Amino acid sequence: MLSHNDTTKQTLSHPKHLKKNSQIPGRSRSADAICLEVGCGFVCNRIPQLRTHLEDTHGIIQTVQHFVFANQSDFDIWLAKTEREACCTFMRRRGWQNNKNGSSTACFYCHRGGSYTSSATKKQMKIQGSCKTGVECTASVKVTQWKNEPANTEVHVEAHLQHYGHNFNLEHTRITKLEKEDIARKPSCGVSRYKIMDEVR
């Protein structure tokens, strides 16, 4: 006989529950990876497949870059610079995956890609609309760290920095982690909140 906990685990792992759960208001989720080139109707459910299609069929080169940073701080600086240049934010959709070699890996995706079910009422909706395009962007950053090994502070990165399927309008740009930390320090340095708001704008 199944216990209450076993029944709960089965319910949570059921595909119907996952589909329903993905529609919860206020939650971002993945979307179809669609080729937007004229006359092409290619659709898949994985970003790597879309990259391969764009490169092989349409000649849109998908370059992968590899970086090794000495520590988390160096990685954060690089990520903030990369996000500023592309007017985007890389967001993690799932938790960290533990690997056999003791490392942990997570993928961060362009915040413009995917879908979003809003929990806001019609009156509360943002004037500029959702930043989500409803399709996947090809840009992503795969990060590998050794969190359980204090002596190993390296951060390994596999980066696909070619964006696809959206513009780079500033109204959809988010404040980076480092910018938030800098803003939080300013009041203690005597900067007025009005000046801080002007700088953010």
Q: Quote the CA–CA distance of 92 and 104 in Å, as a whole number.
A: 13
Amino acid identity at 29: R
State if pTM tops 0.85.
Answer: no
Written as tens digits, the pLDDT of the chain (201 aa) is 444 444 434 433 344 443 444 444 434 456 688 999 999 999 998 999 999 999 999 999 999 999 999 999 999 999 999 998 888 889 898 899 999 999 999 999 998 876 555 555 554 444 444 555 568 899 999 999 998 888 899 999 999 999 998 866 644 455 555 555 655 655 666 656 555 455 444
State the Cα angle at 15 between 11 and 21, rounded to 5°. 75
Residues 88-97: contacts with CB under 8 Å, at least 24 apart: 88/112, 88/139, 88/163, 88/168, 88/173, 89/173, 89/174, 89/176, 90/139, 90/140, 90/141, 91/28, 93/28, 93/29, 93/30, 96/147
Q: What is the CA radius of gyration of the chain?
A: 20
**Domain locations in the chain as residue ranges:** 26-172
Q: Which residue has the tokens 């592309």?
A: 86
Residues 180-186: contacts with CB under 8 Å, at least 24 apart: none
